[in-house]
Amino acid sequence: MSVVTNTDAAAAPKGRRAIAGDLAGVAAILLIAAIGYLVFPNNLALLTRVVAIALLVLSLDLVTGYGGIATLGQAALFGAGAYAAGIGAVHFGITDPFAMTLAGLTGGMVAGLVCGLVILRAHGLPQLVLSIALVHLFHEFANKTTSWSGGSDGLSGIMPAPLFGLFAFDLWSRTAYAYGVALLVIVFIVLRIVVRSPFGMLCRGAKEDPVRIRAMGASPNATLLRMFVLSGGVAGVGGALSAISTQVVALDSLSFTQSAEALVMLVLGGTGSLFGALAGTVIFMLFEDFVAAANPFHWLTIVGALLVAVVLFAPKGLYGTLADRFSRRGGERP
């Protein structure tokens, strides 16, 4: 009895710290979103794009940071969500933003299931090869199904209805930005709960020691497949947000470049941490936009130098390195 009591007593402060971390994360997202709105009132389209890509990077962190799955095909899930929302709006008259988001969520989950079934048949480097092959197959499929996807011209004519019947998705992207921030907060809270749940712990166990997970009677592949489906849903929501905000879906949403950049953002912030995924996305995209505007001829060199410096001097990512330093002082990495 005393052992159980001591265990519960020890778990209570940890639970309170986790809840405090969740609240701090939500507060940070809202604060940064408000600052972005005040600093860039005429460039909310860029900030909405940052939110959409942040959802993509969060989805990649689920399978790579928490599940240990090597993939460079995450854009296939993002693009599937974008096309599902766009096709629903153009061909089936689904213009309600919430219904479009649900369509993107469903499309991303289906794509996640398909990709997971293929990628999890291999390990290590073959996983990367399969993921690259899949994103190219998705890209080519969208390119060939012109009557549905618009092909190389993109899928246009997406006209989302006003949010709650009151707030139109205009060129200023005010409504799209607010909607995107709300989606990001909801997804962040859900994922924080998931990664701390027994399922999240099982995924980490499958990453660290799959043999022990099998000895416990669980299937590492089945566990990681469920995580892949969840990851697809998160990426699909990001894709749907992109379709709603830009009102067009282009083939670059399914490009290998999109997947590679998402991985770069994740490494920049730090893998295995939702906060790191968000930090890496914001830093990379805003830094890229600033440098490209300041030096349109050599901006790639500057961005490349930043990434080399981070990998050499902060191998756990910017957020991961800072979190480790704080943890040594008695804190705990969220």
Is the separation of the CB atoms in 149 and 87 below 8 Å? Answer: yes
Is the pLDDT assigned to residue 98 strictly greater than 90? yes
CA distances from 225 to 47, 111, 259, 323 (A): 32, 12, 19, 29
Break the chain into its structural domains and give their ranges: 16-255
**pLDDT for res 208:** 87
Is the pLDDT assigned to residue 12 strictly greater than 80? no
- The model's confidence at residue 3, banded by pLDDT at 50, 70 and 90, is very low
Please report, to the nearest 10 degrees, the dihedral formed by the alpha carbons of residues 292, 297, 302, 303 taken in order. 50
Query: What burial class does residue 243 get, using C-beta atoms within 10 Å of its C-beta: 0-12 exposed, 13-18 middle, 19+ buried?
Result: buried
Is the separation of the CB atoms in 56 and 75 below 8 Å? Answer: yes
Across the range 295-322, mean pLDDT stands at 84
pTM score, whole prediction: 0.92
- The model's confidence at residue 14, banded by pLDDT at 50, 70 and 90, is low
**pLDDT for res 293:** 84
**pLDDT for res 7:** 46
Across the range 221-239, mean pLDDT stands at 96
**pLDDT for res 330:** 55
Q: How far is 76 from 53, CA to CA, in rounded Å?
A: 13
Q: What percent of the chain has pLDDT over 90?
A: 67
